[in-house]
């Protein structure tokens, strides 16, 4: 979607004052921040990064091979992976990829010269159960905050913050981060994210462009071909992950819009006394099911990953809940066919919203992106 936005905006200064991201969005936000001084070309650079990405640059899974894929070899593979890496996948390739493609000192330079005001990423603490927003800024008015279940703290954003925000539970290991003088272990920021817009609002955004991954209909919720078939372990895992990452984004968007409409209708003297200000929110979501798209590209998974999922029964598309199995596979698909299809879908969806996007960026108020 950002690639489509780049086409609409043309050559101009970096279009966002605040950039926040969660999970893979944390990687996107930080990549954008590191190229913010290049203006709107940063959006195209981000698309180029994903266009060239491969699964081998994100994770490693060394699968046992004892004949055709089966439950025994899949179990041995997963047991070996967990003992060595504290998770089902080895995420060291992602560490190397981020070090090679992110220039974090350029983030600090963009913040120092005013090209960017704030970079923020979110992660969920396994230790305390709280949801944290870590933000880096040169603005003295941005301070830490605390709400029930949600915290924020100013820190220099590093590779560890990105690994923590994108650490899908069970698949990637928990990441230790230091908060308020002690160590806590963190996982994917999309878990228990009750108020995705709160970080941008706390940091002063009055316009927010939201890019989410909510789907018009999850393939896993569609009627299966054989409703009587017993779900496989992979199907159950895919359904469980979909539940863990229950999308609260649009509910938060609707609430922000509703409160903003109410504030706009109040007499100006009354509204000035309240600690709230209207927020303009434009939310972009995929127009097609990403699970269904993933199902078309399952064959592109690396051989070891494909064999392990097949051994678990997660790639049996004729069984009940094939959509949930596709959802599980989609978390692991970083191959060209699937990624390129996602980028083309997002670009087309952005161009379909051309009038709204142009109107949004023609407004002079500070904008925030929440990818």
Q: What is the pLDDT of residue 316?
A: 61
What's the CA gap between 16 and 300, in Å, rounded?
A: 35
Map residue 241 onto helix, strand or coil.
helix
Residue 223 — very low, low, confident or very high, per pLDDT cuts 50/70/90?
A: very low
What 3-state DSSP class applies to 175?
Answer: strand
Cβ burial of 257 (10 Å; 0-12, 13-18, 19+) is middle
Q: Which tokens sit at 291?
A: 């699970």
116 near 16, Cβ under 8 Å? yes
pLDDT of residue 130: 92
In the predicted model, is pLDDT for residue 30 greater than 70? yes
Residues 55-77 have pLDDT tens digits of 999 998 877 676 676 667 777 77
Check residue 229 and give its pLDDT.
60
CA angle 371–43–202, rounded 5-degree value:
35
Of 85 and 70, the one with more pLDDT: 85
Instruction: Write out the catalytic residue numbers.
Output: 23, 188
pLDDT band, very low/low/confident/very high, at 221 (cuts 50, 70, 90): very low
Sequence ranges of the domains in the chain: 1-216+237-364
CA distance 51 to 42: 14
For residues 155 and 121, give the distance between their C-alpha atoms in angstroms, rounded to a whole number.
10
SS3 category, 186: strand
Centre a 10 Å sphere on the Cβ of residue 7 and count the other Cβ atoms it contains. Answer: 14
How high does pLDDT run on average in the chain? 85
Q: Three-state SS for 118?
A: strand
Please tell me the predicted confidence (pLDDT) of residue 242.
Answer: 65
At 269, is the pLDDT very low, low, confident or very high (cuts 50, 70, 90)?
confident
Q: Cβ of 64: how many Cβ atoms within 10 Å?
A: 18
CA 189 from centre of chain: 8
Higher pLDDT, residue 17 or 195: 17
- The separation between CA 149 and the C-alpha centre of its own chain, rounded to angstroms, equals 20
Calculate mean pLDDT across residues 278-304: 88
| Of the candidates 329, 318, 245, 322, the residue with the CA atom closest to the CA atom of residue 294 | 329
Q: What is the pLDDT of residue 220?
A: 46
pLDDT > 70? residue 112: yes
Of 23-32, 186-195, 205-214, 216-225, which range is least confident?
A: 216-225
Q: What number is the average pLDDT over the span 170-188?
A: 93
Residue 299 has pLDDT above 50, yes or no: yes
Q: What is the mean pLDDT of residues 262-284?
A: 85
More confident site: 369 or 74:
74
Lowest mean pLDDT among 65-69, 196-200, 303-307: 65-69
- The two tokens of residue 124 are 């969920």
The pLDDT-based confidence of 222 (bands split at 50, 70, 90) is very low
Partner residues linked to 19 by β-bridges: 119, 369
Q: Which residues pair with 137 in a beta bridge?
A: 118
pLDDT at 219: 45
pLDDT at 74: 72
Q: CB of 69 within 8 A of CB of 126? A: no
pLDDT score of 216: 66
User: Coil, strand, or helix at residue 23?
Assistant: coil
Contacts of 328 (CB under 8 A, 6+ apart): 234, 235, 237, 238, 241, 309, 314
pLDDT in tens, 126-168: 999 999 999 999 998 888 999 888 999 999 999 999 999 999 8
For 35-46, what is each residue's pLDDT tens digit?
A: 999 999 999 999
Residue 28 scores a pLDDT above 80: yes
Q: Which of 229, 230, 236 is nearest to 309 (CA)?
A: 236
The whole-angstrom separation of Cα 110 and Cα 270 is: 38
Interval 288-308 mean pLDDT: 86
> Strand 182-188 and strand 175-179: pairing?
antiparallel
Over the stretch 349-366, which tens digit does the pLDDT of each residue have? Answer: 999 999 999 999 986 555
């Amino acid at each position: 979607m950002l690639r489509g936005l780049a086409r609409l905006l043309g050559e101009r200064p970096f279009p966002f004052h605040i950039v926040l991201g969660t999970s893979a969005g944390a990687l996107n936000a930080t990549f954008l921040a590191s190229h913010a001084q290049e203006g709107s070309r940063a959006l195209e650079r981000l698309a180029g990064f994903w266009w060239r990405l491969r699964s081998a640059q994100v994770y490693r899974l060394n699968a046992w091979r004892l004949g055709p894929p089966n439950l025994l070899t899949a179990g041995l593979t997963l047991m070996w992976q967990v003992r060595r890496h504290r998770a089902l996948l080895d995420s060291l390739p992602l560490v190397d990829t981020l070090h090679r493609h992110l220039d974090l000192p350029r983030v600090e330079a963009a913040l120092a010269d005013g090209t960017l005001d704030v970079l923020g990423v979110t992660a969920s603490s396994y230790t305390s159960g709280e949801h944290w927003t870590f933000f880096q800024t040169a603005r003295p008015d941005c301070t830490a905050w605390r709400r029930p279940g949600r915290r924020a703290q100013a820190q220099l954003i590093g590779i560890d913050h990105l690994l923590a925000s994108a650490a899908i539970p069970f698949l990637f290991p928990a990441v230790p981060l230091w908060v308020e003088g002690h160590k806590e272990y963190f996982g994917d920021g999309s878990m228990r994210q009750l108020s995705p817009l709160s970080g941008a609002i706390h940091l002063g955004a009055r316009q927010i462009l939201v890019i989410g991954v909510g789907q018009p209909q999850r393939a896993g919720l569609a009627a299966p071909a054989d409703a009587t078939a017993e779900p496989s372990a992979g199907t159950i895992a895919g359904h469980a992950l979909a539940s863990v990452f229950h999308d609260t984004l649009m509910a938060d968007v609707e609430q922000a819009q509703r409160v903003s409409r109410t504030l706009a209708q109040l007499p100006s003297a009354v509204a000035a006394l309240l600690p709230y200000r209207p927020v303009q929110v434009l939310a972009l979501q995929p127009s097609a099911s990403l699970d269904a798209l993933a199902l078309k590209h399952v064959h592109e998974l690396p051989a070891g990953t494909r064999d392990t999922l097949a051994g678990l029964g997660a790639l049996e598309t004729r069984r009940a809940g094939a959509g949930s199995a596709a959802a599980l596979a989609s978390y692991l698909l970083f191959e060209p066919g699937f990624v390129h299809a996602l980028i083309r879908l997002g670009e087309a969806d952005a161009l379909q919203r051309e009038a709204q996007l142009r109107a949004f960026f023609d407004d002079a108020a500070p904008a925030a992106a929440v990818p």
